[in-house]
Amino acid sequence: MVKKKQNRESEPVAEDFRVIGKNHGKVGAMDRLTGVAKYTDDLSLPRMLHAKILRSPHAHARILNIDTSAAEALDGVFGVVVGSEMPTRYGVIPWTPDEQALAADKARYVGDAVAAVAARDEETANAALKLIDVEYEVLEPLCSPQAALASPLKIHENNKKGNISKHVKLEFGEVDNNLKKADLIIEGHYEFHGTNHAAIEPHCALAYYDNKDLLTIWSSTQVPHYLHRELAKVLVLETRQIRVIQPPLGGAFGAKSEPFDLEFVAAKLSMKTGLPVKCLYTREEVFFAHRGRHPFSMDYRMGFDQNGHILAVDAQTILDGGAYSSFGLVTTYYSGQLLCSPYTFDTFRFESTRVYTNKPTCGPKRGHGSVQPRFAIEVQLDKAAHALGLDPIELRRRNFLGENTRTVNGFVVGSNGFPECLDKIEEASRWRERYDKLPYGRGLGVAGSTYISGTNYCVYPSDLPQAGVQICLDRSGRARIFAGCSDIGQGSDTVLAVIAAENLGLEVNDIRVVSADTDLTPVDLGAYSSRITLMMGHACLMAAENLGKKVREAVAQHWECSAKQVILAGRRAQRLDDPEMFIPIQEAFVLAEAIYGTLGTVGYYDTPKEGVHGEYRGAPIGASPAYSFTAHVVEVDVDAETGDVEVIQIWAAHDCGRALAPILVEGQIEGSVYMGAAEALMENHELMPSGLNPGGRRKHGPGLEGVLAHTSLLDYPIPTTLDTPDIASIIVEKPDPRGPYGAKEAGEGPLHPVIPAIANAIYDAIGVRIDELPITPEKIVAAVQAREEENMKGVRHASASAL
């Protein structure tokens, strides 16, 4: 017993934990399951108005005049707002403020917001929108990066570099030299299409500017803090006048990680009318607001030696950014910066150009900026393995980056369970017996990846902590956590409760988590880049440890022993050397409160800034305190005649450092796999066909440029349960010294390998490569036909030469 205790003091092993790593339900889950949870649209205030937003039917048009008088005169209309009333340009990245709450001078995509109405109900607001007269000067729509780069017409007049939103070129080592030395060069062109997050809850905001000049806004946001800042800027209010509350969210996935027109509109209309105003998007508006995955057009060249070692990676990428910047500056960096593990390369160069187009704005979707290049590189690796006659898993092992090391671009990597991930999926999928040996039509494919556990830098420069919590205990025998972070369904409230319960001797149910309310909770930057478990985890651990220490000391005084002799576990304070000696935890809290007064502490966390990345322009972007690793094997069944691909099973192994709440980690793996498979095979945030059709036979009518093709969840397919493969989620734990209890991220990494693993499995099944996503039956059939024609030529050629 005593020995075990010593164990605990050094490196904690899983069995020593009371709460961490155990299977407990998710905080708030029953509320959601039973319909008790109140989402933003479930909220209602007395005399509340409903707002609707007028959107541009043109992809690119100058706004010459807006006449709202008829709308204002309509019975039931209380307020109208137009862009000139909120002219401040903002952007979630402070370096690229190119958006306005409502477009004042120019509409830049079909769906761009130009005016809004608050009325007694949505019907009246909709009727009023029809009465607003907007005079447009229609401009040439630039709906592809090629068109935008070629045109002298600028989408943003003030942009210095034509329609280029961001350009990054970085080189590490001498790539060209290494390409010359290489025994094998693999070159490929890859297309990644645009996809939306398709969160089930559409965006919604309810704002009330009250008679104390205080603006309260309930919003389905995943970044209350950034919203808080931008609201102040655009509405010209002091931050102290604004309170942002984030109610439970029905999914986000990056779709809600910056401010949107509806929040400004609801707030401004409330300021104008003095009444509460709600604005709820239609599904179509969700597709307009978008911020989904950027379409990437990628040219990759990689050099290998004969043993399969990667000597050089040369990546050229065009990012289709859509109308505004969003996180685009970061996306452009991520498109290269996040590529440099889990494999080691001697040299690396990437050049990425993000282009403005007259389309809905692209932004961060789960696996921000790195899912697309991951597709390219993992397929490249598969091609290399085939060219060299190597098993693709073996090729990946040979290029393993290692632990406690630096990547070619200077990121410092701590723990790295990638080899274990490979081992697990190799075994689980019976890879060795089956890869390359299955009958025609069946195939296995592998891919790996990495992701960040938050980024070292806040989106605005600051020396402040990234995450903060406050914990209170009292004589009722429970704890309250006040945390600025956003539980968007990923379970961050649960992670905090688990850490606090572990340290305070409580059960998860004894913890009340109050999160994401800028009046009540300390600042956290938000739910993006998989930062919360690591950052808020640390902050919570700091606060909980402090409080736990006080409680143990109080009990120690009572028992006249040392605080080290007291442990808090299972709702008890207990003598370490005598398990029979204990008091209920509530009594322990009472003892502590009697000695120390009201019990409360704060905890906070800031990222390490020194020595964790290289020293070059852009070096910190993408650098993280800790990196997760993932490997998947996918099994597919392909019908070469119809092109149907059925994903039979996905084995996904993910190194999350330590699984603080394993059910949540499994949920994140499953959700990621589901989402990735959907992107690979089904989803496409595409425009309607316009101009000549693909066969060049027919010209589509005018006016279709820039119009989204699929604006409902019927036409934009996401998989039903019947379309969802079996998923084996395998947790690998390689604790990272930089994570709380060693924990790293789990919410985004496991998405990355799915897409290339499916593509690689299709190759194993039928021997064709689909390098342009999504992988549709049509593309498969075309590739099979092309191969057959090629073979025929070969046969003809062979017989001709035989003659």
Which residues form the interface with other proteins (CB under 8 A)? 55, 57-58, 110, 122-123, 126, 202, 280, 282-284, 641-643, 682, 688-689, 693-695, 698-704, 707-712, 714-715, 717, 719-723, 776-778, 781
CB closer to other proteins out of 51 and 413: 51
Q: How near is the Cβ of 785 to other proteins at its closest, in Å? A: 9
φ and ψ at 567, to 5 degrees? -120, 150
DSSP 41: G
- Minimum separation from the CB atom of position 646 to other proteins (A): 9
604 beta partners: 468
Choose between 106 and 550: whose C-beta lies nearer to other proteins.
106
Distance in angstroms (rounded) separating the CA atoms of residues 258 and 226: 7
What percent helix, strand, coil does the chain show, rounded to 5? 35, 25, 45
**Count, residues in the chain:** 803
Least gap, CB of 772 to other proteins (angstroms): 14
User: Whole-number minimum distance, CB 314 to other proteins, in Å?
Assistant: 34
Eight-state DSSP code of residue 44 = -
Taking a C-beta distance cutoff of 8 angstroms, is the pair 241, 278 a contact?
no
Nearer to other proteins, 402 or 689 (CB): 689
In whole angstroms, the minimum distance from the beta carbon of 25 to other proteins comes to: 27
| CB-nearer residue toward other proteins: 184 or 682 | 682
Q: What is the DSSP string of 736-753?
A: -TTSGGG----SSGGGTT
DSSP label at residue 52: E
Question: Tokens 């009572």 label which residue?
Answer: 558
Query: H or E element: which one contains 208?
Result: strand 204-209
Distance, in Å, from the CA atom of 621 to the CA atom of 618, rounded to the nearest integer, reads 6
Query: Cα separation of 617 and 410, whole Å?
Result: 12
CB of 353 to other proteins, least distance (A): 29
- The side-by-side arrangement of strands in the sheet containing 106-107 is 106-107, 61-67, 133-138
Closest approach, Cβ 642 to other proteins, in A, equals 5
Nearer to other proteins, 233 or 283 (CB): 283
- 146 versus 282: smaller Cβ distance to other proteins: 282
Residue 692 is encoded by which pair of tokens?
A: 């000549």
Closest to 193 (Cα-Cα) out of 689, 687, 757: 687
Say how far apart CA 506 and CA 479 lie, in whole Å: 8
Minimum CB distance to other proteins, residue 704 (Å): 5
Candidates 90, 362, 365, 40; CA nearest to 226 is 90
- Which amino acid makes up residue 439? P
Q: Choose between 114 and 298: whose C-beta lies nearer to other proteins.
A: 114
> How far apart are CB 110 and other proteins at their closest, in Å?
5
Nearer to other proteins, 123 or 790 (CB): 123
Minimum Å gap between C-beta 641 and other proteins is 6
Please identify, using beta-carbon distances, which residue of 461 and 695 lies nearer to other proteins.
695
Q: Are 631 and 425 in contact (CB under 8 A)?
A: yes
**Residue number, 139 or 280, with CB nearest to other proteins:** 280
Nearer to other proteins, 180 or 699 (CB): 699
Shortest distance, position 121 Cβ to other proteins, whole Å: 9
Nearer to other proteins, 472 or 781 (CB): 781
> Cβ distance 635 to 761 under 8 Å?
yes
Using the minimum distance from each CB to other proteins, give the nearer residue, 8 or 699.
699
Q: Residue 354 CB, nearest distance to other proteins (Å)?
A: 26
- The residue (of 70 and 150) whose beta carbon lies closer to other proteins is 70
Neighbours of 431 (CB within 10 A): 20
CB of 703 to other proteins, least distance (A): 4
Q: Choose between 127 and 170: whose C-beta lies nearer to other proteins.
A: 127
Task: Write down the least CB distance from residue 696 to other proteins, Å.
Answer: 12
Task: List all residues 6 or more positions away from 801 whose beta carbon is below 8 Å from its beta carbon.
Answer: none
DSSP string, 442-488: EEEEEEEEEEESS-SS-SS--SS-SEEEEEEE-TTS-EEEEE----S
Is the Cβ of residue 12 or residue 57 nearer to other proteins in the bound state? 57
Q: Which of 331, 406, 261, 272 is nearest to 93 (CA)?
A: 331
Nearer to other proteins, 587 or 644 (CB): 644
Sign of CA dihedral 497, 502, 508, 509: negative
DSSP 8-state code for residue 119: E
According to DSSP, residue 40 is labeled: G
Alpha-carbon Rg of the chain, whole angstroms? Answer: 28
Question: Is the bond leading into 342 cis (omega within 30 degrees of zero)?
Answer: yes
Cβ 715 to other proteins shortest distance, Å? 6
Tokens of 730: 């395998």
Give least dist CB 602 to other proteins, A.
41
Q: Nearest CA to 26 among 459, 496, 421, 482?
A: 496
Q: Token pair for residue 391? A: 């098993």
Tell me how crowded residue 210 is: count the other CB atoms within 10 A of its CB: 11
The kind and range of the H/E element at 217 are strand 215-219
Closest distance to other proteins from the beta carbon of 227 (Å): 23
Taking the C-alpha atoms of residue 484 and residue 467, their distance in angstroms, rounded to an integer, is: 7
Closest C-alpha among 750, 726, 735 to residue 672: 750
